[in-house]
Structure 1
Amino acid sequence: MNEYLKSYFPVADIISNTFGNCCEVVVHDLTSPESSVVYVANGNITNRRIGQSFDHLVRQVLLNKKFKNDSVSNYYFEGPNGSHIKSSSALIREPDGNVVGMICINIATNLFEDLKSFIDTFLSTEKDSIFLQEEEVQPDIMSVIDSIIAKTIGAYDPQGLSRKKSVEIVKFLDEKGIFLVKGAIDKVASLLGVSKVTIYSYLDEAKGKR
């Protein structure tokens, strides 16, 4: 784990304690994408556990039109048993500017759904697409995504990878939304030392189409 992230653990605790049982705070280490969760304060909201990977980083955070100044606030996703989760996330940078992690605040909103007058404001969302088009992805966001790809594949020797493990790596990256970004398949193919056609075949196999 990146030691710099430990300074955010008390921050996670104080936020969770302030908002109570409806609030969960998760700290991710993005230098270890496959086991990015390194700290959880009140993990009962999404059942997050240390050692798990991120779920919403690419789709809901980095590709969100509201993502500015390394953060995005008030996006929604569905939690366990259909619960409604309101979330805000921010990237964590070391003093030299390198992105090493992310802190996420998750609030279960089901408790507020009987408060109709409050909910009209609290749960308001935009109906148009919140996702960036490929040409709108900022260079800095691309560097984060490139780092996730490199860190995911970099732990292995491409020449020594079995097809099964290669399929697992491609499936992981696909599930995390990496291939929503233009050029990601080319980068993965290059790092694995295979062609784009092979990556597509891995994707088909991962999805049970072969």
Structure 2
Amino acid sequence: MDSIVQQYIPMADVIAKTFGSDVEVVIHDLTIPQNSVVYTVNNHVTGRQVGQSFNHLITDVLLSQNFTNDYSANYYFHTDDGRLIKSSTVLIRDHDKKVKGALCINVDTTKITQSINYLTSLLPQVPNNGPDPTPQFEDTSKMDHINEIANDLIDKTIGNKSVDSLRREEKIEMIRFMEQKGIFLIRGTIERVAEKLKISKVTVYSYIDEIKEKYNKG
């Protein structure tokens, strides 16, 4: 585990002990993207295990409109058994401002939702007279920052391997991991991977198509 990331273990413990068993805290070491989960508390909430990889870092954190000052707060996802999880993630940086990891807080909303539903059932129903507009905006000023993180994840995923000696299957597996984690949703990452693996952009796209066809069958 990276020494900077390791310093956040007491914080994870105190958050979990303060807010109880429905609050899970997960620490990621992003210097090892494929096995980024290095510490968990109350992992019965989502079932996260040490040695697993990140799931929501790209789509719900880096690409979120709410991502600012190195954190994204209060996004939601469902567990495999249908429970709604409220989540927040903050990046961990070293003294040189390099991203080293992330700390995630996952709250099982089941008990809260049940209580709210019960209390709501006791109140008179108020009609909804109009749509609830959601403002849409795009903050392009942070894209350089996001690209820096994505490029670092790419570099860590490929590692220091001699790409000239990599078999085609090994390159496809790396691309499959990055595609699964949403890295290719970020502008410029296809070009970065092509450059790192010493293949063309067309080849990267063909590998992605091959991966989608293989894993979407059935």
For residue 162 of structure 1, what is the aligned residue in structure 2? 167
Tell me how far apart the structure 2 counterparts of residues 78 and 127 of structure 1 sit (CA, whole Å).
24
1:185–1:199 contact (8 Å) kept in structure 2: yes
3-state DSSP class of the match of 1:21?
coil
Letter paired with 1:38: V
1:196 is displaced (CA, Å) by 0.9
The aligned amino acid for 2:152 is S
Q: Which residue of 2 aligns with 1:179?
A: 184
1:149 to 133, 140, 154: 154
Please, what is the CA RMSD of the aligned residues? 2.3
**Native 8 Å contact 2:147 2:187 kept in 1:** no
In structure 2, what is the Cα distance between the partners aligned to 1:70 and 1:48? Answer: 22
Corresponding residue for residue 111 of structure 1: 111
Whichever of the two has the greater Rg, that structure is 2
1:192 to partner: Cα distance? 0.4
Contact 2:183 2:189 in 1 (8 A): yes
| Distance (whole Å) between structure 1 residues aligned to residue 35 and residue 137 of structure 2 | 25
Contact 1:93 1:101 in 2 (8 A): yes
Conserved in 2, the CA contact under 8 Å of 1:75 and 1:87?
Answer: yes
- Structure 2 unaligned regions, length at least 5: 121-131
> AA paired with 2:195?
S
Q: What is the CA–CA distance in structure 2 between the aligned matches of 1:19 and 1:66, rounded to whole Å?
A: 24
Residue matched to 2:82: 82
Matches within 5 A, 1:1-210: 1-116=1-116, 128=134, 135=140, 137-208=142-213
Alpha-carbon separation, structure 1, partners of 2:210 and 2:136: 30
Q: Could you tell which deviates more after superposition, 61-70 or 199-208?
A: 199-208
TM-score, length-scaled by structure 2: 0.86
1:123 corresponds to which residue?
A: none
Q: 1:78: how far off?
A: 1.1
Q: Could you tell me which amino acid in structure 1 is paired with residue 32 of structure 2?
A: S
The count of residues paired between Structure 1 and Structure 2 equals 204
Shift in Å, 1:131: 8.9
Q: What is aligned with 2:125?
A: none
Between stretches 52-61 and 158-167, larger displacement belongs to 158-167
Opposite residue 200 of structure 1, the aligned amino acid is Y
Distance 2:137 2:164 in 1: 36
Residue-by-residue CA offset, 1:63-93 (whole Å, 9 max, x unaligned): 1111111011100011131111100000011
Shift of 1:116: 2.3
The whole-number CA distance in structure 2 between the counterparts of 1:12 and 1:130 is 33
- The residue identity in structure 1 corresponding to 2:181 is K
Q: C-alpha deviations, 1:85-129, integer Å up to 9, x for none?
A: 100000011122111010000000011112227998xxxxx9748
Find the counterpart in structure 1 of residue 123 from structure 2. none
In structure 1, give the amino acid aligned to 2:165: G
User: What is the SS of the residue equivalent to 1:75?
Assistant: strand
Q: Structure 2: which amino acid aligns with 1:115?
A: S
Q: Deviations over 1:11-33 (max 9, x none)?
A: 10110111111110000011111
* TM superposition score normalised by structure 1: 0.89
Structure 1: segments with no counterpart, 5+ residues: 121-125
Task: Give me the whole-angstrom Cα distance separating, in 1, the residues matched to 2:169 and 2:196.
Answer: 16
Aligned to 2:39, the other structure's residue is in SS state strand
Letter of the 2:93 counterpart:
R
